[in-house]
Copies of this chain bind each other. A is one copy, B any other.
């Protein structure tokens, strides 16, 4: 019997209010240059310390041993979906990051302007890194002139610098396609082709992409330096079972950055708009408490400063989070998980494979005799080291919404 089917069979109606608080990229490593402390260990965190005396700890493998996840797989695992079974293309993630409301079946591509010579050979893959304003102008030109390719709607949205996103919305579309990108200069733009040559839907999609190039390239002719563009990560938004159906939980997203709202929306969470700071997000949790069972609360900054390799700023971001915590704990959620989608160690300046720490608090979590919430402490927690995709099941158990299995 399939484990997901068993969980579904055991799922009861929720009577608890659940908060999953994600400090993006929280996990770190203890190295000499930082005095063998992680930012979480070095930070002054009186409120997290107090919470650690109420809960169980552990560490979570974001995807599989040694695998460094992007934000997509990291969050899908937190939402309880195996990130290897549910892969979301880069185009889709980029579109979500730009705040586009994608629908299942939409095909999205990351695109960027480039420079072509007279023989349509790519001479600069980033078109001299044009300014964002130039990119916006070019995208507006394209969007004004190209509404449809064949029977599919086309949506174009400018990103930062030379980057933009193209979405095709129509019936019977499917990715993935190979990249319309030679990945180095000196070559022409290859056609995007179906990765699965037997897929009729992918063939149709490849024809759409070719049609888009046919309409768009003439509109850029004569522009300089951006007279061409490349498309990568062309794939459709996959069908993902809805969070509400899978866990019996009505869920809301309290995130500030569009990509995380988009990832929550992918699984059918309601996006709550407005809050800009973590304190405002916590306030809003209380305001919306009656309307939802589950709240995904996202805090971006540990990841941002981890990516910068800025230990001090990452530590400070954690302290600022800690300072806001009393707003949340004014009325405790019945089940509270504080964790990360992955580690972003400052010494690595990027996401990593290191298991992120997790603190799980409920009336039934028990206390692991740990006085702080840290990576080193979490190693000794009762939750052990486990795959992040299982966290949601532990949360359901603590919400007392998983029935007993067998007599």
Interface residues of A (CB under 8 A from B): 1, 3, 6-7, 10, 28-31, 36, 38, 58-59, 63-73, 83-85, 87-90, 93-94, 233, 345, 347-348, 350-355, 363-369, 375-376, 379-386, 390, 393-397, 402-407
Expressed in whole angstroms, the Cα–Cα distance for A402 and B67 within the complex equals 7
Option from B1, B30, B376, B395 in Cβ contact (under 8 Å) with A84: B1
Option from B85, B94, B345, B363 in Cβ contact (under 8 Å) with A366: B345
CB distance from A378 to the nearest CB of B (A): 8
CB distance from A347 to the nearest CB of B (A): 7
Expressed in whole angstroms, the Cα–Cα distance for A355 and B402 within the complex equals 16
Q: A59-B382, A405-B73 are in contact. Are A66 and B394 (CB under 8 A)?
A: yes
Q: A29-B366, A30-B366, A385-B385 are in contact. Are A407 and B355 (CB under 8 A)?
A: no
Q: A72-B407, A379-B368 are in contact. Are A353 and B397 (CB under 8 A)?
A: yes
Name the prevailing secondary structure of the A interface residues: loop
* Interfacial chain B residues near A10, Cβ < 8 Å: 67
* Interfacial chain B residues near A363, Cβ < 8 Å: 31, 347
CB distance from A176 to the nearest CB of B (A): 12
Q: Is the CB of A406 within 8 A of B355?
A: no
* Interfacial chain B residues near A355, Cβ < 8 Å: 382, 384
Expressed in whole angstroms, the Cα–Cα distance for A407 and B163 within the complex equals 15
Q: A405-B73, A406-B73, A407-B70 are in contact. Are A366 and B354 (CB under 8 A)?
A: yes
* Interfacial chain B residues near A66, Cβ < 8 Å: 7, 390, 393-397, 402
Expressed in whole angstroms, the Cα–Cα distance for A233 and B406 within the complex equals 10
With most chain B CB atoms within 10 A of its CB, the pick from A6, A59, A89 is A6
* Interfacial chain B residues near A70, Cβ < 8 Å: 404-407
